[in-house]
Amino acid sequence: MMKPALGLLAASVLLASCGSTGSVPDGSGRIVDLTTEYTTSTSPTVQYVGCDNISNASAGRSGSTQVKVEFAAAGSIQSVEVSLAGTTNNTSDPNFDTVIQAANLKKNSAGNYEVIFDANSKTGQLLPASIVVDPVVQPVKPVSASNPVGGSFYALVKITTATSSFTLTSYNLRRIPVYSNCTIQTSQPLSK
């Protein structure tokens, strides 16, 4: 899914990131969570994953992983740049990057900003239209995963206000491992 490209994004942007826990030193912003629509476990701790090829997926979703970045920020936001970075060489991937204007940002019931988008491994890009337009939110689905790609990804959120800009990272909060193959687990009918 994000193998080579996400690996490039993280290094350069991580150096510009503030804080080590996904927050800025003055507390004016922080990444609350990073999740996907796929998980390999549900308890005691959920392990979200990214998938390149998905078996048993609904039509058109065999190469897409929906990603949700939840973040808190204070002040008058002008725009937010959301990107995904890979841990292989800590570099951001320019294909998994988009800018969202303040008018298109949405808040969830907890009062945090929430950005939901599809990272499409077939086209190697983040689908920005699904950020601007309210996307169909995919339910979290258990998968069996195989063939890890050898890395994981995390989110970078660059917030621009009228007077400054700062970058938040989810690196120390949550990193999502990526697998070449995932199969959505389906319910089996009870036998008689």
Domain limits, the chain: 28-184
Domain 28-184, CATH: 2.60.40
| Lowest mean per-residue pLDDT among 23-27, 76-80, 117-121 | 23-27
Tell me which residue has tokens 């503030």: 18
- For 40, 105, 113, the CA distances from 59, given in Å and listed in that order, are 22, 28, 29
End-to-end CA distance of the chain: 41
- Cα angle for residues 139, 142, 146 (degrees, 5° grid): 130
- Residue 136 to residue 115: CA distance in whole angstroms: 12
Q: Residue 27, by phi and psi: left (phi above 0), alpha (psi -120 to 50) or beta?
A: left
Tell me which residue has tokens 């979200």: 48
Tens digit of each residue's pLDDT (9 = 90 or more) over 79-103: 999 999 888 777 777 778 888 999 8
Question: What's the pTM value of the predicted model, to 2 decimals?
Answer: 0.80
Closest alpha carbon to 141 in 65, 34, 59:
65
Tens digit of each residue's pLDDT (9 = 90 or more) over 24-43: 556 678 999 999 999 997 66
